[in-house]
Structure 1
């Protein structure tokens, strides 16, 4: 017994639901990256996103929405890279402050006049 292909309404609804899920994920990351939430604890991710396999091609009327979500995802990804680079710089600075060293060898003076 083979599976029936989804009807046009089911197909459109399935794609709308998939785009809703992607949009919620992007919104969550955008909120996390906002200044108010950068210092708050972030809940652990429950699992990696996997693309649906049974949706078929994207309905043409949903293409603008999918493109907008993709643009937001790319913008958020770029912002995450910048935030991570900033975090690495801050961690390096804190390490230098805590140790009093910039990583370079310190001069050593030995009193040889004994």
Structure 2
């Protein structure tokens, strides 16, 4: 099957949009000060009616998928670290982990 410019061009545009989404996530992960509560404004939506991926674009699609998976793993790692830090902070602030007297009156 030969690829015409329209079909191939549509796939290139779809991969460009998907790659831009990955770049946004990678940028957010690289910026320690960025707030996690502010998601990217334009969430990527898969295109419809494109048909099969042209073979010459498969390496690029595979590379984007690898980057997506790596970004997802990093997000999961950071979420886990945040949960651990939150649990530790909660124990320190409330004293739940260790029940010791804070003040002992030695005058008695």
Q: Identify the TM-score tier after normalising by the shorter chain.
A: 0.7 to 0.9
Q: CA deviation at 1:96?
A: 1.4
- Is 1:84 matched with 2:61? no
The total of aligned residue pairs comes to 98
User: For 1:16-57, what per-residue CA distance to the aligned partner results, in whole angstroms no more than 9, with x for missing partners?
Assistant: 1110111111111111111xx122235334465332111111
CA RMSD of aligned residues (A): 2.2
| Match in the other structure for 2:15 | 19
Q: CA deviation at 1:107?
A: 7.1
* Separation in 2, partners of 1:92, 1:8: 56
User: For 1:80-109, what per-residue CA distance to the aligned partner results, in whole angstroms no more than 9, with x for missing partners?
Assistant: 11010001011111111221222x6x479x
**Unaligned ranges ≥5, structure 1:** 1-6, 109-114
Q: CA deviation at 1:74?
A: 0.8
| Match in the other structure for 1:41 | 35
**Unaligned ranges ≥5, structure 2:** 102-108
- Is 1:28 matched with 2:4? no
Dislocated runs of 4+, deviation >3 Å: 44-49
Give the 3 Å change call, closer, same or farther, for CA 20–29 of structure 1 in structure 2: same
* Separation in 1, partners of 2:17, 2:43: 13
TM-score (norm 1): 0.74
TM-score (norm 2): 0.78
